[in-house]
Amino acid sequence: MKRTLTSISFWVVIGCIFILTYTQFNIKKWKKNDVITWDILEYYGYLPAFFIEKDLKLDFVQDKERMEGKVYFYKTQPDGSRVFKFTMGLSYFYAPF
């Protein structure tokens, strides 16, 4: 009985290793190193809004000329104000100083 459980456990571990290895090398998102790019952009959004635009209320988003080529992820509140979807904490780590 004990030998059967060991045998089953062994094959489950081998199966998990195979699935993880296959996933790592064969899924396109992993090949492009693009998995967390959008998350980083969302966390990073606070820095240009604060240091360049000087506007954490995101009022500058309405100006199409200033927004050309820039991406900010925000949510519009019922009163019309805009807030970032992500918290500010990780943006400190992405700051250049």
Confidence of residue 14 (pLDDT cuts 50, 70, 90): very high
Q: What is the pLDDT of residue 19?
A: 93
- Where do the domains of the chain lie? 1-32, 36-97
Q: What is the pLDDT of residue 50?
A: 85
Q: pLDDT tens digit string along 34-87? A: 666 777 777 888 888 888 888 888 888 777 656 666 777 888 899 988 888 888
Confidence of residue 17 (pLDDT cuts 50, 70, 90): very high
Of the two residues 55 and 31, the one the predictor is more confident about is 55
Do the beta carbons of residue 42 and residue 86 sit within 8 Å?
yes
